[in-house]
A and B are shown apart, each in its own frame.
Chain A
Amino acid sequence: MGAAVVVLRSELQTRFDVPFEVRSRPDRIQLTTGIPAIDRLTSGGIPRGTLTEICGMESTGRTALVFALLGQATRRGECCAWIDAEGSFDPASALEAGVALDRVLWVNCGGNAQHALQATDLLIQAGGFGLVVLDLADTPDIAARRISLASWFRLRHAAERTGAALVAVERQIHARSCSALQIEMRRKKPLWIGKLLRGVLAQAESRKHYKSQLAEFSAVR
C-alpha cells in the first residue's frame, strides 16, 4: 500500500508538483509598534511578510495603534501605503502621531471596497513597501464580507513574496485563517479631564495565540 502511494505520488509530482511540496514557514521579521504593551503582546511587533488583522468598533484605538506602527516605519525610512476604502484618513492626526507623510502613499478609494482591494493587490505586487495598510474600518460589514477568502489568501501570498507587512483594519475579523495575527481592540473607557477629551483607554487581545493574551494602552490627544 505504502509503495503504491509512493509510486502514485511520484507520477503525479511530475505533473502537479505544488500540492506535494512541504512549505517551511519563513522566519518572521517583526515591525515594532513603539507601544511596549502591544510589542509584548505580539512578541515583538507586527510580523512582516504576512497579513495581520486589527479589528474593533469605533473609538477602540485601532487607528491610534496603526498610526503608531506607521510612524515607526516611516521614521526608519520605509515607504508605506495607506489604502483608505472610505476616505477617512486624517493627515493632521497622522502627522501628530509622528508619521512622515512624504513616505506615505495614500490611496483614497472614496467608499469602494472593491477598489481598495484592487489597489492593495497592485501595491503589494509592486514591492518595495515596508508596510501596507488596508483600512476597512468604516466599511459596512456587508461590503467587507463580500471579500472572498481567496482574495485574502492572494494578498497574504503576495505579502509573503515581497516581505511587506500587510495590516487590515476592520470592524470584524474577515480574513480568518489567512491572517497570521489577529488583534481585537476594545474600548475600556474614555478619559476626560475637566472640559477636555483627553483620550481613550484601549484593550487589545491577541487572537491567534494558543492562550488569549490581553494588553492595555491609552491613546491620548
Chain B
Amino acid sequence: MFACIHAPGNLPLAVECARGFSPYIEENPPDTAIFDVRGLESLYGPPESLAREIERRVGVPASIAIASNPDAAMHAALGLRGVTVMAQGREAEVLAPLAVNLLRASPETAELLHLWGIRTFGEFAALPSLGVAARLGEEGVHLQRLAHGDGYRQLRPIIDPLEFEDEMELEHPVELIEPLMFVLGRLLNEVCGRLGARSLATNEIRVRLTLENAPEHTADLRLPVPMLDSKAFLKMLQLELSGTPPVAPVLKVHMRAEPVKPRRTQHGLFLPASPEPEKLELTVARLRHLVGDERVGSPELMDTHRPDTFSMRAFAPHAAQASVCESHVVESSPRLCLRRFRPPRYAQVIVVNHQPVRVVSSSVSGRVVMAKGPWRASGEWWRGDAWNRDEWDVALESGALYRLFQEVDGGRWFVEGSYD
C-alpha cells in the first residue's frame, strides 16, 4: 500500500508529514509526496482510518490517496480532491474520470490522444492494447497501464545526506562550564536520538564554541569504538572542557557527530571478561583528566636501541582480543626487572682504579660492594640527540642492585634504576 499527499505549494510540509508514517518517501515536485504505508494496519486500522490520520496530521488543505501502487495513488491525489482510498483491483474504476493530461505524456503522444478525442483515463484504458502499441509504441503501452491503475514500479525514496549536527545560540553569554553542560546535554540527546533512529552510532564528536571577542574554541572526542551513550559523551566532554576551558564566555554551541555503524560483537563463552568499551572510554577519560593525557595508555616499544624509548598508544583491548589466548599455565623462570628512575637521577660517584666505590645521589647512596662493567652503549651518532655512555651494574652495601651510567662526553654519572 502506498499513500500520496498532494499539497499545492506545501511540499516540505507534505514530506514532513510523510516522515511521521514511513522512512520510505518519494518526492514528486512541485507538490506531491508518495510514501510506503505497508504494515501500518496494526497501528492505524483499515486504510480509511489511516487516510483520515494523514489528513489530520497534514493540517493544511491537501488531497490524500491510498492505493496498491505509487502511480495510482499519485494520480488519484492529483485528480481527486479530499481523501480517496482505492481497494486493490478497483483502481481503473476510480481513476476513469481523471483527465488524461495527468499522465504527463510526451507532447507528440499528448497531441495524438487529443486528436483521437481521448480525454479521460477511462477512455484511454478502453482502447485495444495492440492498437495502442502499434501506434504509440512503448510509451503508449506504459501510459495505458498507468491509466488502467496498474503500477509496477518501485518507490524512489529520498536519501538524506547523513549529517548529524546541531547548534544553539545562547541568549546570554555563558561563562561557566556547568551551565554549558546543560546546553551540550540537550544537543547530545538530539544528535544521539537521530543517530539511534537510523541504527547508527558515532566514534567522533566535534564541538565548536563561538566565544565573545575570542577565537572559536573546539573540543573533539575521538573514540576507538562506536558508541551511542549520550551520558557518557557528556561526561567526556565535561572532562575535556574542564581540562582546556574556553577563554571567554560562550555565545553559540555547534555540535557534529560522525555517523558510523554500531559495534556488534559476539563474545566467546570461554574468553575472559574485558571492560565494556563505553565504560572503559569514560574511565580512561577520567584518568587522563586526573594524571594527564600522555600518562595513560598501552606502552609500545619503539624500533630503536635507545634506552627507555616507547610510545603511549590508546588502550584498545578489543582490538587485541583477536590474538590467540593461551588457556594453560606457562611455567617460566621470573626475570630480573629494572625499575626506572624517570628522569635518571644525577649522582656523584667516587671512582678508584676505574671502578665506582661510592655513590651519592638524592635517593641512592652508599658504598659499592660489587661493580660490574663498564658496558658501552651508543647509537644514532648521525643525529643531534645521539647517546654514548658506559653502563655499570652495582651492588651497594645495603644489598640493593642498581644500574649506573656515565656519559662518555660529559663524564656525568646517573642512576638509571634499580633491579628488582
**A interface, CB within 8 angstroms of B:** 32, 34-36, 57-65, 67-68, 71-72, 75-79, 87-98, 100-110, 112, 115, 118-119, 122-123, 126-130, 137-138, 163, 187, 190, 192, 195-197, 199-200, 217-221
Contacts and interface: CB of A to CB of B under 8 A. Distances in A.
Interface of B: 271-276, 279-280, 282-284, 286-287, 290-292, 295-301, 308, 310, 312-313, 315-317, 319-321, 323, 325-327, 329-342, 370, 372-373, 393, 395, 398-401, 417-420
Given A75-B326, A104-B299, A126 B279 contact: yes
A63 B337 contact: yes
Contacts of A68: 332, 334-335
A64 B420 contact: yes
Which residue among B316, B323, B373, B418 has the maximum number of chain A CB atoms within 10 Å of its CB?
B418
> Secondary structure at chain B's binding surface: helix, strand, loop or mixed?
mixed
A78 B336 CA distance: 23
Given A90-B417, A104-B299, A110-B291, A64 B370 contact: no
Given A57-B400, A59-B399, A137-B339, A105 B296 contact: yes
A58 B420 contact: yes
A128 B276 contact: yes
B335 A67 contact: yes
Nearest to B283: A126
Contacts of A90: 308, 337-340, 417
B276 A67 contact: no
A219 B319 CA distance: 32
7 contacts: A98-B332, A105-B297, A105-B298, A122-B286, A127-B275, A137-B339, A190-B370
A42 to B, nearest CB: 14
Given A77-B325, A87-B295, 4 more contacts: A63-B420, A72-B329, A108-B291, A127-B273
A95 B400 contact: no
A97 B400 contact: no
Contacts of B326: 75-76
B329 A32 contact: yes
B333 A187 contact: no
Contacts of A94: 299, 337
Nearest to A129: B275
A220 B290 CA distance: 36
A93 B124 CA distance: 88
Contacts of A197: 336, 372, 393, 401, 419
Contacts of B282: 126
Nearest to A78: B272
A196 B375 CA distance: 10
Contact of B334 (A92, A100, A196, A217): A217
B393 to A, nearest CB: 4
A128 B273 contact: yes
Contacts of B329: 32, 34, 72
A102 to B, nearest CB: 4
Given A36-B331, A90-B308, A197-B401, A128 B279 contact: yes
A93 to B, nearest CB: 4
B399 A187 contact: yes
Contacts of A128: 273-276, 279-280
Contacts of A218: 333-334
B279 A127 contact: yes
Contacts of A34: 329-332
Contacts of A35: 331, 333-334
Which residue among B291, B299, B420 has the maximum number of chain A CB atoms within 10 Å of its CB?
B420
Contacts of B419: 58-59, 197, 200
B77 to A, nearest CB: 56
B336 A219 contact: yes
Q: 7 closest Cβ contacts across the A-B interface?
A: A128-B275, A77-B325, A91-B299, A58-B400, A93-B337, A63-B420, A197-B393
Contact of B291 (A59, A102, A107, A187): A107
Contacts of B276: 127-128
A67 B337 contact: yes
A134 to B, nearest CB: 14
A104 to B, nearest CB: 6
Contacts of B418: 58-59
A73 to B, nearest CB: 9
A90 to B, nearest CB: 5
B321 A220 contact: no
A98 B335 CA distance: 9
Contact of B310 (A62, A72, A79, A91): A91
A29 B66 CA distance: 66
B361 to A, nearest CB: 14
Contacts of B320: 100, 102-103
Contacts of B298: 101-106
B270 to A, nearest CB: 10
Nearest to B311: A91
Nearest to A69: B334
Given A59-B399, A101-B299, A64 B275 contact: no
Contact of B420 (A32, A105, A118, A137): A137
A138 B339 contact: yes
Contacts of A59: 399-401, 418-420
A119 to B, nearest CB: 6
Nearest to B297: A106
A122 B332 contact: no
Contact of A119 (B291, B340, B395): B291
A51 B420 CA distance: 22
Contact of B317 (A62, A79, A96): A79
A16 B349 CA distance: 64
B283 to A, nearest CB: 4
A46 B280 CA distance: 25
